Amino acid sequence: MSARDRILGAIRESLGSTPRDTAAIAAEAAALLADPDAIRPELAGPSLTESFAAKAWGLGTTLDTVADMAEVPAAVSRYLAQYGLGPGLAMQQAPELTGLDWSALAPHDTVAPDEPVALGLARHGIAESGSLVIHSAPDNPILLGFLPLHHILVLERRRMLPHLEDYAALLGREDGIPRNAILITGPSGTTDIEGSYVRGAHGPGFLHVILVGDEE
Amino acid sequence: MSAPAPQAGFKARAAAAIADPTLKIAIDRTTGTAERKRAAAVAAFSEFEAARARGKAIKDHVIAHLDHYLETFERNATAAGAKVHWAASDAEACAIVVRICREADAKLVTRSKSMLGEEIGLPHALADAGIERAETDLAEHIIQLAGERPSHIVWPAMHRTREQVAELFAEGHHPPPTAFDPATMVQSARHELRTKFLSADVGISGANFLVADTGATCTVTNEGNAELTTTPPRVHIVTAGIEKLVPSTAHAFALLRLLVRSATGGELTQYTTFHCGPKRPGDADGPEEMHIVLVDNGRSRMLKDEFREMLRCIRCGACMNHCVVYRQIGGHAYGGVYPGPMGAVLTPVLAGLERSRDLPSACTMNGRCAEVCPVQIPLPTLLRAWRGRSWRERLEPSGLRYGIGLWAAVARRPRLYRFASGAGVRLLRRLGKGGWISRLPLAGGWTGSRDFPKPAGRTFMELYRAEQSGKGGPS
């Protein structure tokens, strides 16, 4: 007998052999998600953006706001200047980014092991927790968000969601379940040495968000 | 500096731990912070109690339909391109992982922290197979350098002070850190491990959740080491206990809110990552193969009895952070992979009650663990169940059984009991100096590491009678 059969057999023996009603199981599972406001925190601010910003700042994520995508390169330049970084950066090859005017900077399409800065698009922001969502894709290597010291994410304001459940409801609706879906909630950190918090453990030590678009 | 000898008994390990002042400092620094941060996170989340009840209900639902969810997960993970393996025991699980590594011709394996990996003895199995293993979680990296086992399920190296970590890094890092403050040491580990991440053949992770309706596995980390472990190597292997299932991503989020607040006092970890199958056509990076090893190792047995409730555990570590015993002796004294209250319940399942019957007894029944458990596991009740089972199976040494039998015989005779306790109290008072007793015959286990409080001059019953006769009895 295979291990699979042995395990499932042992489980069924322990649980007792009740006939399985998958519709009833699904209904019970759905009921466990009812009234989500009763089991999640209220937003930290009066609007999605303010709530997101409050949570993000609290985590050490920095934030800049621009009116439209055309202003993103200037915002990136401002950030690089602030940290005394050169014009080179690894950039996600998404048309929303590659179509911008990068003449003042030197973006490239690969990510080196010691890459100082990377720029990508966030798929969503989550106001409840100050999280940013990225999905793996042909134009979005996961390492882009993990090898660099500085990670800059561009987030369109219309992509902001109130709660984690709102993201779960969208997952798979737009273009299938991605191989990797990652919620990034603040810069990489560790408390493994005596509980003292240190930023930049393995992933980026700096997380910067460029929020695009006017408040609705 | 070395791990406690596994052949030594719990009592010897606990006594050694209590006698180690550095260990006490290290434990206090981390558990104290964890306790304060959890309290603040729970206070800031007014829906916590409702969320906790829901979390319990979600886990109970999955456990009641575990076969259904395992099959659903297997079907969806397979459809996403992952290969699902089943392992009834720790040995089977290790054999599967080692076989996949050999088939991948793996020389170097990176691993992101997984308590299940420790439970099944994966580090040893890889070493026996001659495969180099690089632990990538900072704490696991520290204990790998020290040749130790984890002492906590969230902070595996919490028993080490920064000074001790400095010694390990000075010797184990090439080049050694330029300074020995935590920030510089973390940077040194970042440099040391980066080449390992990028040159590994296989990356092994655990899973905090297995999402049935998508077939994804979910990992949570603060460092980003899980993604660096699972992305560059050609093969990604997940080892996960069968109790990790949730119906959907939304259910995982409901539990994540509880898990992170209870573990570190954060709201979410820095990285919450869902891994669904291997690299897709055209993907910029990712593993060519993804394997998921579903491990039973005693869990299906737990479904049968009261220990079913323990299958709700989401491994947050709050029970040990709040345990007066854990905070005195640390994790290594427990001798198993899982320390603290949850470990004292699980170790007898994994190692057998005969070899671990001291663990359920190392509990004051103060109930703190159950109060803070985010999925309402009645840990003291389960520990008491092990004590009862140990008694019924006659596992206690005969001296203890005889002593308890004698006590029970006296306790069943009220007049004799009152006489004996009255005499005992008066005798104890003679042994004390000031308010305390520093040496007590037959109770060296207590007085060896702390004083015994000198009792009041009369027993409760004597005082109660005097009080009642003064008042003329109850009205």
Phi, then psi, of A126 in degrees rounded to 5? -120, 115
Select from A59, A146, A194 the Cβ nearest to the Cβ of B30. Answer: A194
> Is pLDDT of B8 > 70?
no
> Chain B residue closest to A40 (CA)?
B47
Are A141 and B267 an interchain contact pair (Cβ–Cβ within 8 Å)?
Answer: no
The stretches of A32-135 forming alpha helices (DSSP H) are 48-59, 72-82, 95-98
B95 near A CB under 8 A: no
Strands, sheet with B235-241, edge to edge from the N-terminal-most edge strand: B83-87, B289-295, B235-241, B202-205, B108-111, B132-135
Interface test with A, best of B253, B264, B280 (most A CBs within 10 A): B253
Cβ-based contacts under 8 A for chains A and B: 258
B217 near A CB under 8 A: no
Q: What pLDDT was estimated at residue B443?
A: 78
Find out if CATH 3.50.40.10 is the number for domain B12-300: no
Select from A10, A55, A198 the Cβ nearest to the Cβ of B183. Answer: A198
List the 35-74 stretch of B: residues with Cβ below 8 A of A: 44-47, 50-51, 54, 57-58, 61, 64-68, 70-71
Strand, coil or helix: what is A211? Answer: strand
CA distances for A172 relative to A97, A140, B62, B213, B248, angstroms: 23, 17, 22, 11, 12
Select from B54, B194, B279 the Cβ nearest to the Cβ of A32. Answer: B54
In this structure, are residues A168 and B250 in contact, taking their beta carbons and an 8 Å threshold? yes
Q: What's the distance, Cα to Cα, between the start and end of chain B in Å?
A: 65
Q: What is the DSSP string of B193-223?
A: HHHHHHH-SEEEE--SEEETTTTEEEEEESS
| H-run or E-run covering A9 | helix A3-15
Report d(CA B364, CA B372) in Å as an integer.
16
Report d(CA A78, CA A199) in Å as an integer.
22
State whether the Cα torsion B27-B163-B335-B136 is positive or negative: positive
* CB neighbour list of residue A157: distance below 8 Å, 6 or more residues apart: A49, A211, A212, A213, A214, A215, A216
Pairing of strands B271-275, A124-126: unpaired
Select from A14, A33, A200 the Cβ nearest to the Cβ of B300. Answer: A14
Q: What pLDDT was estimated at residue B472?
A: 54
Report d(CA A179, CA A131) in Å as an integer.
19
Q: What pLDDT was estimated at residue A144?
A: 97
**What residues of B are in contact with residue A169 (Cβ under 8 Å)?**
250
Q: What pLDDT was estimated at residue B6?
A: 40
Report d(CA A135, CA B276) in Å as an integer.
11
CA distances for A146 relative to A83, A118, B334, B401, angstroms: 19, 9, 36, 58
Interface test with B, best of A1, A7, A18 (most B CBs within 10 A): A7
Q: Report yes or no on A5 lying in a domain.
A: no
pLDDT band for position B225 (cuts 50, 70, 90): very high
| H-run or E-run covering B289 | strand B289-295
Are A146 and B198 an interchain contact pair (Cβ–Cβ within 8 Å)?
Answer: no
Select from A12, A40, A140 the Cβ nearest to the Cβ of B257. Answer: A40
> Is pLDDT of B444 > 90?
no
Q: What pLDDT was estimated at residue A17?
A: 67
> Is pLDDT of B75 > 50?
yes
User: How many distinct structural domains can be found in chain A?
Assistant: 1
Domain that holds residue A57: 45-212
Are A185 and B64 an interchain contact pair (Cβ–Cβ within 8 Å)?
Answer: no
Strands, sheet with B209-211, edge to edge from the N-terminal-most edge strand: A160-161, A124-126, A131-135, A180-184, B271-275, B216-221, B209-211, B245-246
A58 near B CB under 8 A: no
List the 297-316 stretch of B: residues with Cβ below 8 A of A: 300-301, 303-304
State whether the Cα torsion A99-B282-B71-B120 is positive or negative: negative
pLDDT band for position B109 (cuts 50, 70, 90): very high
Q: Report yes or no on A94 lying in a domain.
A: yes
Percent of all residues in chain B with a pLDDT value above 90, rounded to a whole number? 84
In three-state form (DSSP H/G/I as H, E/B as E, the rest C), the secondary structure along A139-192 is CECHHHHCCCCEEEEEEEHHHEECCHHHHHHHCECCCECCCEEEEECCCCEECC
CA distances for B456 relative to B291, B439, B447, B463, angstroms: 65, 18, 18, 10
Domain residue ranges in chain B? 12-300, 402-471
Please state the pTM of the whole predicted model.
0.94
Are B242 and A129 an interchain contact pair (Cβ–Cβ within 8 Å)?
Answer: no
Select from B88, B228, B286 the Cβ nearest to the Cβ of A179. Answer: B286
Q: Report yes or no on A84 lying in a domain.
A: yes
* CATH number of the domain bearing residue A72: 3.40.50.10420
* Peptide bond between residue A46 and the one before it cis (omega within 30 degrees of 0): no
A61 near B CB under 8 A: no
Report d(CA B343, CA B359) in Å as an integer.
8
Q: Which of A122, A95, A140 is nearest to A184 (CA)?
A: A122
To the nearest whole Å, the CA of B338 is away from the closest chain A CA by 18
**In the predicted model, what is the mean pLDDT of residues B136-163?**
95
Instruction: Spell out, as residue ranges, where chain A has pLDDT lower than 50.
Output: none
Q: What pLDDT was estimated at residue B439?
A: 81
Report d(CA A154, CA A69) in Å as an integer.
9
* CB neighbour list of residue B433: distance below 8 Å, 6 or more residues apart: none
Q: Which residue has the tokens 């399920």?
A: B153
Q: What is the pLDDT of residues B368-408, one digit of tens each?
A: 999 999 999 999 999 999 999 999 999 988 998 999 999 99
A204 near B CB under 8 A: yes
Amino acid at A67: A
Q: What's the distance, Cα to Cα, between the start and end of chain A in Å?
A: 61
Q: What is the pLDDT of residues B266-318, one digit of tens each?
A: 999 999 999 999 999 999 999 999 999 999 999 999 999 999 999 999 999 99
To the nearest whole Å, the CA of B364 is away from the closest chain A CA by 27
Q: What is the pLDDT of residues B329-356, one digit of tens each?
A: 999 999 999 999 999 999 999 999 999 9
| H-run or E-run covering B24 | helix B21-43
CB count in 10 Å sphere of residue B91: 13
* CB neighbour list of residue A155: distance below 8 Å, 6 or more residues apart: A121, A122, A124, A125, A132, A209, A210, A211, A212
Q: Which of B269, B383, B367 is nearest to B316 (CA)?
A: B269
Q: What is the DSSP string of B295-352?
A: E-TTHHHHTTSGGGGGGG-----HHHHT-TTHHHHTTGGG-SSS-HHHHHHHHHHHH-
